[in-house]
Amino acid sequence: MNRPSLYWEADDDVEDIGRYVPGGYHPVKLGDLLAPPPGSSDGGVRRYRVLHKLGRGAFGTVWFAESLHESSQRYVALKICVADANPQQELGIHSRLPHEEARHIMELLDSFTLQGPNGVHSVFVYNVLGSLNEAIRSSPGTMQVKLVCQQLVKGVAFLHRYGVVHGDIHLGNVGIALPTLNDHSSRDIMEYFGNPECTVVLPTTVSQHPDGLPPYLVPPVSFNSFLSRNDLSFREGLLKVEIMDLGNATTVDCAPRPSCTPAAVCAPEIMFERVVRSVDAPATKASDIWSLACTMYELVFGSRLFHFAAQNDALLGKMSKLCGEISPSWQTYWISKERLRDLDTSPETASAEWAYLLDHHSRTNSVLPSTDMAELISLLRLMLKMDPAARLSAEDVLEHPWLNSVGS
């Protein structure tokens, strides 16, 4: 089915209306009540009312909701997966992660299925998280930044310990806990965000599948600003990181799946396969470490290590220059491309590139002192190795001097 033409087009901060097709998104209205099917063993017991939009992604939309079946006020995030998604993959990942251990992974609170006009959708219920990127920019500080990085690494180490490869580590998949959100009334929250600027979904021609379209598209909200203004404990407290979205995660003992890691944080061995063979190789623990290093760089310095990253030779060249080498398996392809074979990828050039970055950030970044920054860059270089086997493990990263002095 083609993407419908609408009388009023929405801004870029909402989902693609073309995904509301059989097998795609479930249409949601604010105020909808979502619950397990009546015929199920617990149908009618658990109910959630949708209050606002939190976000969207390739595998579903996420909604801010209130739990109506609990004795005390509680807000949750409802991830409504596209109908074509495989819920067993994500449920299986959560089921193998013990809850009693210290962790920095979003916990699954509930799950059920939902029948809609576009198919049967899995609904995953989580705690509401805030934006880490917004929080770290509004409350910078050496210890805060290092603590956040340590927690992020602990989360990855936790996954790897139980044989889970995340496969999609980037800043958009890391949130912060909002432990005091339940202390605020829904009226105060909704009044703060005001009347949503909804875009009415009115196709220019009669839709072949009208029930599958939502009545309007809603822009998402973030709770950082609400809590910063209305909650002193949130403003002054330490951030607690939680890694989100295990929809792309895999386990080391199951059949591999194609990776979907974004180009800006994608490991070179995966990117090479995409560029040269148009193949999405599976993510590994080692590719997670590369993505983790890129995410830590962006967290601390506020910019991406690989600017304007795209699936092309230019990105392969940038990776090789920063690593100071090219992979032996790349040699034949490398010498066939004039743009690549003329690049200086020596260790000396790599050291010069990192020295430039250190000098630049020492002059423009006030979060870390220069000596601390140099130690961080030494850690990142150990994580950003061309050879996957040469990269530090997540446990090794935690033992690096830049992180092991941070309080738990």
Binding residues for ATP: 79
- The helix or strand, by DSSP H or E, that contains position 191, with its residue range, turns out to be helix 186-193
Q: How many residues would you count in the chain?
A: 408
CA distance 338 to 335: 7
The enclosing H or E element of 15 equals: none
Task: Report which secondary-structure segment, H or E, holds 63.
Answer: strand 60-67
CA pair distance 277, 192, nearest whole angstrom: 50
At residue 125, φ and ψ (nearest 5 deg) are: -110, 125
Cα-to-chain-centroid distance, residue 253: 23
Reading phi first (left if > 0) and then psi (alpha if -120 to 50, else beta), residue 347 is in alpha
Helix (H, G, I), strand (E, B) or coil at 372: helix
Which of these, 91, 100, 97, lies nearest to 161 by C-alpha position? 97
Q: List helix spans (H) across 264-346.
A: 268-277, 285-301, 313-323, 331-335, 338-341
